[in-house]
Amino acid sequence: MTRHPADPGRPHPERPRPADPGRPGRPRPERAAGPIGGSILALGAWAVVAHTSGSGWVQTLGAVLTGVLVVGLAGPAVAVTRAKVTVVRSPADATAGSGAELRITASARVRVEPVDPGGPRTFAGPRHGPDEDDHDEGATTSLTVVPEHRGLVPWVTVDIASASPFGLMWWHRQLRLPLTQVMHVAPRMGVAGRIWPPDDLRSAELRRRSPAVVGEPRGVRPYRPGDSRRWVHWPATAHSGVVMVRDMETPAANLPTVRVVLPEDTDQADAAAGDGLAAVAALLRDGTAVLLVTDEAGGTCAAVVGDRRAAGRRLGRAVAAPDRPAITASPGPGTPAPGAGPKWSPP
C-alpha cells in the first residue's frame, strides 16, 4: 500500500487501494475493567456468603453464577470471531464528504461501525422479534460510509462487535470487506473561478453555448434556447412529447481542454481535483463536451467527458504528478503547454 509522504501510517488517498481484503483482526474486549472487576467482586461476595453459611445450595448457586459470568465475559469473543459480514451491494460512484450506502448481511447479530472510510454505526444480522423480517438471515442492512478523500475504494474496513449472549461485555474486531465493485470517489466540488476569471464563466456567450453543427451525431437531447430549428429530431420529439434536437459530436481538436495535475500533498490534491471538476461542470452545463487530461497510474489520459459523473470518475482515478503546473485550461487543439498558465477562451 502506498503511504502518505507526511505520515507513513496513513494510506495515500489518491493511489488505488489494494484489492486484497487481508486477514481479519483478533477479537479484543471493550472497556473490560468494569465488567471484569464487577464479576470478581460479585464472586468474592458470594464466596464469603457460601463460606459463612456452609449450605450446599448456596455453593451450587455460586458455581452456576461463576459459569454464567465466565460465559457472559468470554462468550462474545467466540460470537464475534464466528460472525461473518458480507457486502452484497455497493455503489459505483460516490463523492468525498458525502455518504454512500452499502447493503450488507451478517451471519449473527453484531454491531457494525465503518472505520475506513468512516461512517455511523449500525446493527446487522438476524434478531428475535415479532417482525418476520427479523428472522430472515438473508435480510440486508444499510451501512453508510463517508469517504473523506477522493480515490478508488475496492474495500471497506469495519469494526464488528458483539455482547452475546448475556450482554455483560462487548468484544470487537476489525474486518476488511471487499465491495461488489470498485467505488469511484469523486472530489468535492471546488471553485471554477480559480482556473480562469469568473467573468469569462458568466459571459453571455458561454451561457448560450450550443453544440457543434458539424461532426458525427451522438444522440438526441432536449431543445435549449439558441438551437436551430434544423436540428429538431421529429421522431424523438413525437415519441417523448417534448422538442428534441440532434446532438453532434464536436471534433476533439475544437473542444475546450482542461488539464488537471495534482500535487503530492493530499489536501492540496483534493482541492485541485475539486477545482478541475468545477471547471468541467461549468462547461458541461453550457452544452459543450470537455477534453479532460489527467495523470493516472498507467500514464497520462486524455479523453472527452460528456457528463459530471464521467469527470468525477476520471478525477477520482487521477494520481499526483509533481513538477507540473496544478491546473490549466485552454481552447485546444490538444493539451496546453506546461507553462501556459490558467486561461480559457471559447473554441
Q: Where are the domains of the chain?
A: 28-186, 188-212+251-347, 213-249
Residue 143, Cα to own-chain centre: how many angstroms?
12
Q: Determine contact, residues 320/180, Cβ cutoff 8 Å.
A: no
HSE, side-chain direction, 13 A CA sphere, residue 64: 6
| Helical ranges in the chain per DSSP H | 33-53, 56-82, 198-201, 204-207, 234-240, 266-285, 308-317
Q: Kindly list the distances between the CA atom of residue 247 and the CA atoms of 93, 120, 238, 244, 333, in Å, as whole numbers in the listed order.
A: 26, 44, 17, 9, 21
Per-residue tens of pLDDT for the chain, all 347 residues: 444 444 434 444 433 343 344 456 788 888 878 888 887 888 788 777 777 776 777 777 877 878 888 888 888 899 999 999 999 999 999 999 999 999 999 999 999 999 999 999 999 998 765 454 444 555 889 999 999 999 999 999 999 999 988 888 899 999 999 999 999 999 999 887 665 544 444 443 444 444 544 455 667 888 776 566 777 889 888 888 888 887 765 555 567 888 888 988 989 999 999 999 998 888 887 667 788 989 988 888 888 888 889 999 999 999 987 555 544 454 444 333 333 333 333 33
Question: Rounded to an integer, what distance in angstroms lies between the CA atom of residue 277 and that of residue 188?
Answer: 8
Q: Kindly list the distances between the CA atom of residue 62 and the CA atoms of 35, 37, 163, 265, in Å, as whole numbers in the listed order.
A: 18, 17, 23, 62
The pLDDT value recorded for residue 3 is 41
Q: At what angle do helices 266-285 and 308-317 cross, to 10 degrees?
A: 160
Q: Kindly list the distances between the CA atom of residue 24 and the CA atoms of 20, 44, 82, 119, in Å, as whole numbers in the listed order.
A: 12, 37, 11, 19
The pLDDT value recorded for residue 156 is 96
Model-level pTM? 0.67
Q: Which residue has cell 453484531?
A: 110
The pLDDT value recorded for residue 164 is 86
Q: Determine contact, residues 327/276, Cβ cutoff 8 Å.
A: yes
| Ramachandran angles phi, psi of 235, nearest 5° | -60, -45
The pLDDT value recorded for residue 114 is 96
The pLDDT value recorded for residue 198 is 47
Sign of CA dihedral 201, 204, 208, 212: negative
